[in-house]
Structure 1
Amino acid sequence: MSTALLQAVAAGDRASLRSLYDSEGPRLFGIAMAILRDRDAAADAVQDAFVKIARRAAQFDPTRGEARHWMGGIARHAALDIARARGREMPTDDPALGDTPVDPEALDRVLATEAGTRLRACLAELEAKNREGIILAFVHGLSHVQVAARLALPLGTAKSWIRRGLLQLRTCLA
């Protein structure tokens, strides 16, 4: 369904973009929330992602993967861009400035869905080193360099662990 909607968006169908937003927006918001842990920032990331999705819809190649995974990558990168920009900000404890804590259970709520339960089971099947690298990169938004530093590993090793884990996840989730 997402592939057909994405192809319609590529053809300029605005109603299909709205349908795509309605069907995929909550999932993409969950991805952004897992990275940013801030509702407003996650909403901004989803908005940025849908602008990019609308502009790049014609670039989607269904032979290379599913539309929802392609869109998830765009949302993830939009959230990481915001996280990197926010890393330069100085947070305060003044709630009047908007730096209020986000519910730490947000990721748990996302993982409580059927797809999240399946993902959790597949993550549990991975070796600890692969799982830890994936979680640091895709949940916490760390770059490969940051993952390598956090795990005290050479960069190539960290990349290999993450890649192997992702390949195992792909097989498990298929």
Structure 2
Amino acid sequence: MQKFHVIIAWLVLLLLILHLIMGSVTLLSPVFLLQSQFAVVFLGFVCVHGALALWKTLGRKKPRALLSYAGRNRVLWVRVLSGAAILILAFIHRTLWTIRTPFGVLLRDFEWPSLLAQELLTAALLIHILLNLRPLLMDSGLESGGRLLRGMIGVTLALGALAVAGAAAYYFSGGAA
């Protein structure tokens, strides 16, 4: 089960990068990619990842033991809470961005609730990914420190900064209005 969860985690990271690329193409050009079908598949993998992570984290431990050492388990709880925030904000993200019509899916106007949700989702993703990179590398049997980890942290921060800047630029330029 551990190896399966590692594979799912890497797949979710790759799907996130693909989603960022597809979303950018959709927003910057008249091309509307198959985001709706992709979103369902992506969200499915995120839910599987979340369920496996909860099972791995909470399944072997008694809840009382986790709560009694809450001070020592701060990083664990930030990881769990950021993952829960991602799940909630992902559903909000999907709802705020699209309108279903008989002719397909259209983009909504990008107003301040969309910007706020986008920035909160980006923050939750950054926190979650940054806190879980080292454990993911260790579980994958890769170097968990040094250049690889620093490089992945750099790429994560760069993509996060691009997402924040892109959402703000899209909002202040008038969005889809």
Q: Above 0.5 in TM-score?
A: no
Q: How high is the TM-score relative to the length of structure 1?
A: 0.28
Task: Point out the structure with the larger strand share.
Answer: 2
